[in-house]
């Protein structure tokens, strides 16, 4: 691929944008990294659930992150919901979580 010739008098913001385009800061993660993040987020969810105070917003955001990471891992929605329920302080009724 041919190197693009850039003018020398470009503003620094444009140069930074072009450098980020060549070397994107957000690289794809490996399966091991995503799995580790999934498990860490489940642990954080458990801590949030058992903490006191108004943590509803944090709980919702963490729940959403777990769902997205489960989707990235290719887990069925049922398994992700089971993982969330096992790490929650809410009462689980028979038939709600299947082993």
**Residue pLDDT, tens place only, 12-61:** 887 777 776 666 666 678 899 999 999 999 999 999 988 888 888 898 89
Structural domain boundaries enclosing 47: 31-86
**pTM of the entire predicted model:** 0.65
Structural domain includes residue 68:
yes
**Do you know the residue count of the chain?**
99
Residue 64 phi, psi (nearest 5): -65, -40
Confidence category of residue 96, pLDDT binned at 50, 70, 90: low
Assign 3-class secondary structure to 5-67: CCCCCCCHHHHHHHHHHHCCCCCCCCHHHHHHHHHHHHHHHHHHHCCCCCCHHHHHHHHHHHH
**Per-residue confidence (pLDDT) for residue 51, from 0 to 100:** 85
- Residue 15 placed within a domain: no
12 assigned to some structural domain: no
Inside any domain, residue 41: yes
Q: In the chain, how many domains are there?
A: 1
Classify residue 69: in a domain, yes or no: yes
Per-residue pLDDT at 82 exceeds 50 = yes
């Amino acid at each position: 691929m041919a190197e693009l010739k850039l003018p020398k008098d470009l503003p620094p913001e444009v140069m930074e944008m072009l450098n980020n385009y060549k070397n994107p800061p957000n690289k794809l993660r490996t399966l091991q990294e995503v799995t580790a993040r999934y498990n860490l987020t489940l642990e954080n969810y458990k801590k949030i659930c058992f903490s006191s105070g108004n943590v509803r917003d944090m709980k919702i955001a963490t729940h959403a992150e777990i769902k997205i990471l489960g989707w990235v891992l290719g887990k069925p929605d049922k398994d992700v919901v089971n993982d969330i329920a096992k790490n929650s302080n809410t009462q689980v009724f028979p038939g709600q979580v299947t082993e």
